[in-house]
Every structure is written in structure tokens, then in C-alpha cells.
Amino acid sequence: SQKIEQNSEALNIQEGKTATLTCNYTNYSPAYLQWYRQDPGRGPVFLLLIRENEKEKRKERLKVTFDTTLKQSLFHITASQPADSATYLCAPPRADKLIFGTGTRLQVFP
């Protein structure tokens, strides 16, 4: 069955550094992949969608890559700020159903 793995449960980085989160998927080939941010007690918020024919996509301080050969997506936050602290979820769909990873909890400390 399909499996989504995000690199670690938690990632702690210092303010101003670049945070890099990893999403690996197995046993299927999604046509696109989405990234969401979730704060405690709230629903996820859509951040970026990248399609299989796009190698990279950017939005302000966010950058996503999509390597269909490695079956991996990388999510970067440059010049990270404490306000970026949240859980980040990747979601590569299968048969039009979004399959969410378990998430990486990012903590940016001053």
C-alpha cells in the first residue's frame, strides 16, 4: 500500500536559518503533491502545490522541489522566523484522495 514518510517528527532550527523538510512516498506515482501547515488546534492551511512536470516551485520564502525519480519532495523555508513554527504536512494524492504524511513539527527558536 502507499506510504508517506516525512523525515522526522520534529526539527529545531535557529531563526534566520533555512529549514528543509523531506517527504518520501512509495508504491505509487502522484501527478502532483501538496504541502500544508497546521498549527495546534487548527485545521491545515494550504501552502503550495507542485505538479510532476515542475521541478521546483517558490512562494515568498517557501520553495518546494519534486523529484519523481527519487519519489521525494523537499520543502524549504528560508530566513526562518519563530512564526514559522508549526507542523508541516505533505500530501501526495492517490486516485484523487489526498494521502497525508504524519507531518514534521518545526520549531524555530530565536
Residue numbers at the binding site for another protein (CB under 8 A) = 31-32, 34, 41-46, 49, 89, 93, 95-103
Q: Which is nearer to another protein, 32 or 85 (CB)?
A: 32
User: Around Cβ 108, how many Cβ atoms within 10 Å?
Assistant: 20
Q: Which is nearer to another protein, 26 or 102 (CB)?
A: 102
Q: Which is nearer to another protein, 3 or 17 (CB)?
A: 3
Min dist CB 49 to another protein, Å, is: 6
Nearest residue to 50 (alpha-carbon basis) of 80, 12, 91: 91
Min dist CB 76 to another protein, Å, is: 19
Nearest residue to 50 (alpha-carbon basis) of 72, 65, 71: 65
Min dist CB 16 to another protein, Å, is: 29
Min dist CB 103 to another protein, Å, is: 7
Q: Which is nearer to another protein, 80 or 87 (CB)?
A: 87
Assigned C-alpha cell, 24: 518520501
φ/ψ of residue 64, rounded to 5: -125, 140
Q: How far apart are the first and last CA of the chain?
A: 41
> Under a CB-based contact definition with an 8 Å cutoff, are residues 78 and 63 in contact?
yes
